Structure 1
Amino acid sequence: MNLHRLDLVSLQLFNLVARSGSISKVAELALLAVGAASKRISDLEAAVGAPLLERHSRGATLTVAGLALQRHAQRILADVDQLEADLSDYASGLVGVVRLWANTSAVTQFLPQDIAGFIAANPEIRIELEEEDSNEIVLAVLDGRADFGIFADRTPAMGLQLMNYRDDQLVMVVPPGHALAGKRAVRFEEAVDYDFVSLPKNTSLARRLQTETDALGRRLKMRIQVRSFDAMCQMVAAGLGVAILPREAIRPHLKSMHLKQIALDDAWAKRRLLIGVRDAAAVPKHVRLLIDHLCG
């Protein structure tokens, strides 16, 4: 077996044959003689050291080895397409790509304007933004999937260097007519016996609520859990419970969904969003530019 003899043109040809079941049809599409296309498949079989196709009068079907090669061929060809796209960016003047992971609070409230301002000043830098839970963000930075991350304080982040990004004020949201709707401010302990709408339990916001409930020696009545701030507001508007959410994130929904915002008189309701990076001194220049912009 000599897999170093594999070439991309033959892999692409084989992939098309595997999908169509016909060498002659693929040869016609590729503007090749049937014999030339068949020879490329035979050369692949020689390199692999096993038959890849079972040829018959109705066309061709994959052998077990052919199925294995098809799986790898699809992945290889997809990687090549991605490589071509990335290199074309650099050829057109791209300086670099920043892989930024951020939690929903940052993505919803602050990053749209911050990133828009950065790109306006640095159009040659591309940002790949991934929205994730705070714990997943820390792991992504630690294992190199993200250049840096933005997550809530209280998130375990051992091994990362931390910088302040933004302050984030939590408030309570209730539907019209709720028993708390007439209050301007409440303490969490006044609301803990009501039904709650929350994000999934592994998110930093849900963990914070659970921690504070435990500290009160009470039990949180989690009525429903959804994946987004918008969905939480819709559930509250439908009367399914109350929720604790970032103030700026719910601002667009207060009027449209007829929700009532109530201040939280608890110190923990003021959160801090942090930027985490493995080694600030070692990040590439284009990544440093974005970090400096966000911290400025």
Structure 2
Amino acid sequence: MNLHRLDLFSLSLFSLVARSGSISKGAELAHLAVGAASKRITDLEAAVGAALLERHSRGITLTVAGQALQVHAQRILSDVDQLAADLSDYATGLVGVVRLWANTSAVTQFLPADISSFVRANAGIRIEMEEEDSGEIVLAVLDGRADVGIFADRTPAFGLHQMSYREDRLVLVVPQGHPLARRRTVRFEEVIDYDFVSLPKSTSLAKRLQAETKALGRSLKMRLQVRSFDAMCQMVAAGLGVAVLPRDAIQPHLRSMNLRQIALQDAWASRRLLIGVRDANAVPRHVRLLIDHLCTPSPG
């Protein structure tokens, strides 16, 4: 087996043949004569040392070896496309790409302004941001899918170098007319018997509520689980439950949805958002620039 004889054009042709189910259709899509396409497939089979296709009158089917090659070919071709895109960026003056993963609290409250000001000052650096649950963010940084992660405190993050990003305050959100709507402050144990609207159980916010409920020896009445702060507010406004949410994230919704926020007296309602990287001593310069920017307190 001589895999060094594989070339990208042949892999691309093979992928087209596999997807179309026909050598002739694959050749047409590759703008190649059928005879030339057939020879390339034969050469490919010789290079890998196994039959890749079963040829029959109605087209082709993949052998087990062909199925394995198709999986790897798609991955390789995708990586090459990404490489071409990255190199194109560098050719136009880009000096780096930062893969930033952040939880909903950071994305909703702080990152729009922080990323906007960073990009204005560093036009040659592109930020690729994904919104994920805190636990998944830590895993992504550990296995190299993300360069930088922003997640909530209490998230297990062994193996990551951690820095403080921001603090946020959790509040209780209720609809106007709720029995607690006139209260300015409340303890969590006073509201635990109400129906709750929450984010999915895998999120750091939902885990915090469950942990505090368990510490009180009680059970939380989780009536609804939705995927965003906005959806949570809509469900609360519809009278389907109460919710615990970051104070700054809900400000746009209070008046428009006729909601009330009530301060939680509990110490755990004050959270820290953390920045995590895998190796603080091996962070590329463009990643370090973003981290330094995020760790700098915003004016006001």
TM-score interval w.r.t. the shorter chain?
A: over 0.9
Partner of 2:281: 281
Partner of 1:270: 270
Q: Which moved more, 1:65-74 or 1:246-255?
A: 65-74
| Counterparts of 2:32 and 2:163, CA distance in 1 | 59
| Counterparts of 2:56 and 2:193, CA distance in 1 | 72
Amino acid at match of 1:204: S
After TM superposition, the score normalised by the length of structure 2 is 0.91
Secondary structure of 2:97's aligned partner: strand
Partner of 2:230: 230
| Counterparts of 1:191 and 1:142, CA distance in 2 | 38
| Counterparts of 2:58 and 2:139, CA distance in 1 | 51
Secondary structure of 1:286's aligned partner: helix
Distance 1:25 1:208, change over 3 A: closer
Partner of 1:34: 34
Unaligned stretches of 5+ residues in structure 1: none
Q: Which moved more, 1:103-112 or 1:157-166?
A: 157-166
Secondary structure of 1:201's aligned partner: coil
| Counterparts of 2:21 and 2:282, CA distance in 1 | 51
| Counterparts of 2:279 and 2:28, CA distance in 1 | 54
Partner of 2:176: 176
Report the CA distance between 1:196 and its aligned residue: 1.1
After TM superposition, the score normalised by the length of structure 1 is 0.92
Q: Which moved more, 1:126-135 or 1:27-36?
A: 27-36
Q: Which moved more, 1:165-174 or 1:278-287?
A: 278-287
Amino acid at match of 1:112: P
Matches within 5 A, 1:199-278: 199-278=199-278
Report the CA distance between 1:36 and its aligned residue: 1.8
Report the CA distance between 1:72 and its aligned residue: 2.2
Unaligned stretches of 5+ residues in structure 2: none
- Superposed CA deviations along residues 75-134 of structure 1, whole A, max 9, x for unmatched, are 221221111112211222211111212111001100011001100111111112121222
Amino acid at match of 1:188: F
| Counterparts of 1:41 and 1:166, CA distance in 2 | 56
Distance 1:118 1:48, change over 3 A: same
| Counterparts of 1:213 and 1:62, CA distance in 2 | 54
Amino acid at match of 1:82: Q
Partner of 1:55: 55
Matches within 5 A, 1:138-177: 138-177=138-177
Secondary structure of 2:156's aligned partner: coil
Contact 2:167 2:272 in 1 (8 A): yes
Secondary structure of 1:193's aligned partner: coil
Amino acid at match of 1:232: M
Partner of 2:69: 69
| Counterparts of 1:120 and 1:67, CA distance in 2 | 47
Distance 1:60 1:196, change over 3 A: closer
Partner of 1:116: 116
Distance 1:31 1:278, change over 3 A: closer
| Counterparts of 1:12 and 1:117, CA distance in 2 | 41
Secondary structure of 1:94's aligned partner: coil
> Is 1:134 matched up with 2:134?
yes
| Counterparts of 2:221 and 2:198, CA distance in 1 | 10
Secondary structure of 2:51's aligned partner: coil
Distance 1:243 1:17, change over 3 A: same
| Counterparts of 1:276 and 1:105, CA distance in 2 | 15
Partner of 1:104: 104
Contact 2:16 2:30 in 1 (8 A): no
Report the CA distance between 1:29 and its aligned residue: 4.4
Report the aligned-residue RMSD.
Answer: 1.9
Amino acid at match of 1:103: N
Amino acid at match of 1:199: L
- Superposed CA deviations along residues 122-181 of structure 1, whole A, max 9, x for unmatched, are 111111212122222223223333222111122233333322211101111011221111
Contact 2:16 2:29 in 1 (8 A): no
Distance 1:49 1:116, change over 3 A: same
